């Protein structure tokens, strides 16, 4: 990724904390570089953008943005920050970014000296926990009135709405993507393997794949939320009759939901795949890049992932490889596909030093043009309704948008839980795949974790 440059780049911040807790759903890595904090100049490589309606003219003072750099890279952030700088030449903008930025910035959040604006994604981030810890500004009233430069209400143009925390909103989803299963379309055609459309056809093609000595399914065992999001959660919705409300019940930690019939049936399908040898047992020890490289090298036919996969692995994709995406593969024959969305949100710190600039920036970035830019620069979907067909966005993103617009797809809510419950979900699926627990024991584990969280 090439940095946007015009005049000068100021290195202003050195913070280092060498502990990384979780990997990013959008592609964390083992890099432990110090956070990069730079003043952002205007760019000659970007197209000028008008200032949003309602944005104070000529913002001044200092404004700091914290964002995680993972599978989506930082090109889009450099782009929009440069445009915001053009619109506000007297505003001193500092961007604090990196692949380990959340851990490195944690002391400042704890000490009450956070950045003004934050993109909540990556290693060590948890939106629900930040809300619980009173670290984020209440945006409920602001979002109801906020409009972009085109005069369009942010909530009207958003694909997904802000998470509701007891009637309040503290975040605005920036990324709206879908978990799912990926495969190489060209390789499948050459092998004569059919694209699965349901559990029955998935089992059938899985047998053919396994017979060739290739693992049908590989996953990122070190970061188990990949297989939870890409395989298990859609199966749970399918077993609930295609009703996504069960995800909301899980998110609200409803007593008994983790032992409910739909979840037990979904876990049973996972067990069937495990016992048939379809899920590569070596996956448990693999991180995201290792599993993805094995997939690209045709050591496995399918992999669960998010829409950032093609962009994240762009430098390693073999010639002739054609990514294709399926929202879900465990639904019964004749049932609809299920999309399990993932969102990564932006927010304003409760103790922001320049909240007005932060609100103006939020309005500034939520436009259809920046949404097209996001798709082209990241290979993913921004949380704005935009026409991507005429854009240079990749085929995977366009395919996903077609699924989103299809009557044969159910879009379930995003599953957002606190850090302790999330860890229990991740530990539970690995224990199940490793044959250390049964589906019933998975349910017991989760009920205990939910009960502890409710207290």
Q: Which domains does the chain have, with CATH numbers?
A: 36-175+344-398 (3.40.190.10), 178-341+412-454 (3.40.190.10)
Q: What is the pLDDT of residue 392?
A: 85
Q: How far apart are CA 162 and CA 11, in angstroms?
A: 34
Split at pLDDT 50, 70, 90, the class of 12 is very low
Split at pLDDT 50, 70, 90, the class of 112 is very high
CA nearest 400: which of 312, 318, 337, 345? 337
Q: How far apart are CA 291 and CA 280, in angstroms?
A: 10
Contact (Cβ atoms closer than 8 angstroms) between residue 379 and residue 397? yes
Region 54-63 average pLDDT: 77
Q: What is the pLDDT of residue 10?
A: 34
Window from 100-109, 388-397, 422-431 with minimum mean pLDDT: 388-397
CA nearest 433: which of 261, 239, 267, 198? 267
Q: What percent of the chain has pLDDT over 90?
A: 71
Q: Determine the Cα angle at 387 with ends 385 and 393, to 5°.
A: 110
Decide which of 440 and 21 is more confident: 440
Split at pLDDT 50, 70, 90, the class of 35 is low
| Per-residue pLDDT at 25 exceeds 80 | no
| Per-residue pLDDT at 148 exceeds 70 | yes
CA nearest 39: which of 84, 101, 69? 84
Split at pLDDT 50, 70, 90, the class of 44 is very low
Q: How far apart are CA 87 and CA 60, in angstroms?
A: 11
Q: How far apart are CA 196 and CA 143, in angstroms?
A: 41
Decide which of 175 and 41 is more confident: 175
Q: Which residue has the tokens 């990724």?
A: 1
By CB atoms closer than 10 A (0-12, 13-18, 19+), residue 15 is: middle
Split at pLDDT 50, 70, 90, the class of 32 is very low
Q: What is the pLDDT of residue 397?
A: 84
- 151 Rama class: left (phi>0) / alpha (psi -120 to 50) / beta: left
Split at pLDDT 50, 70, 90, the class of 38 is low
Q: What is the pLDDT of residue 37?
A: 60
Cβ count within 10 A of residue 185: 16
Region 153-164 average pLDDT: 88
């Amino acid at each position: 990724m090439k940095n946007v440059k015009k005049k000068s780049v100021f290195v202003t911040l050195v913070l280092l904390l060498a502990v990384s807790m979780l990997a990013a759903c959008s592609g964390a890595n083992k890099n432990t570089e110090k956070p990069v904090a730079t003043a952002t100049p205007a760019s000659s490589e970007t197209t000028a953008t008008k200032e949003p309606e309602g944005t104070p003219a000529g913002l001044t003072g200092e404004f700091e943005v914290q964002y995680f750099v993972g599978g989506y890279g930082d090109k889009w952030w450099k782009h929009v920050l440069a445009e915001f700088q053009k619109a506000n030449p007297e505003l001193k903008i500092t961007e604090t970014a990196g692949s380990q930025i959340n851990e490195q910035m944690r002391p400042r959040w704890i000490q009450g000296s956070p950045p003004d604006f934050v993109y909540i994604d990556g290693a060590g981030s948890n939106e629900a926990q930040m809300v619980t810890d009173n670290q984020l500004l209440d945006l409920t009233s602001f979002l109801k009135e906020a409009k972009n430069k085109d005069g369009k209400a942010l909530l009207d143009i958003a694909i997904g709405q802000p998470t509701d925390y007891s009637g309040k909103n503290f975040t605005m989803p920036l990324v709206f993507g879908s978990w799912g299963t990926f495969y190489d379309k060209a390789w499948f055609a050459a092998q004569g393997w059919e694209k699965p459309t349901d559990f029955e056809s998935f089992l059938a093609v899985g047998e053919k794949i396994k017979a060739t000595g290739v693992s049908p399914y590989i996953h990122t065992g070190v970061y188990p939320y990949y297989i939870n999001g890409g395989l298990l959660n859609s199966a749970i919705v399918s077993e609930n009759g295609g009703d996504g409300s069960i995800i909301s019940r899980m998110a609200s930690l409803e007593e008994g939901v983790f032992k409910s019939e739909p979840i037990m049936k979904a876990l049973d399908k996972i067990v069937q795949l495990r016992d048939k040898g379809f899920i590569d047992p070596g996956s448990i020890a693999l991180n995201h890049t290792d599993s993805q490289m094995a997939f690209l090298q045709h050591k496995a036919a399918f992999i669960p992932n998010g829409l950032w996969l093609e962009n994240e692995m762009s430098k390693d994709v073999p010639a002739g490889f054609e990514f294709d995406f399926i929202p879900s593969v465990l639904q019964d024959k004749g049932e609809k596909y299920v999309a399990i969305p993932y969102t990564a949100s932006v927010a304003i710190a409760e103790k922001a030093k320049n909240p007005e600039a932060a609100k103006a920036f939020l309005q500034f970035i939520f436009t259809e043009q920046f949404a097209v830019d996001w798709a082209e620069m990241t290979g993913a979907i921004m949380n704005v309704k935009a026409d991507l067909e005429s854009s240079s966005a990749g085929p995977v993103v366009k395919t996903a948008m077609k699924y989103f617009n299809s009557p044969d797809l159910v879009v379930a809510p995003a599953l957002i839980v606190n850090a302790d419950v999330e860890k229990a979900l991740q530990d539970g699926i690995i224990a199940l795949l490793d044959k250390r627990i049964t589906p019933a024991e998975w349910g017991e584990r989760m009920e205990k974790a939910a009960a502890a969280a409710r207290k």
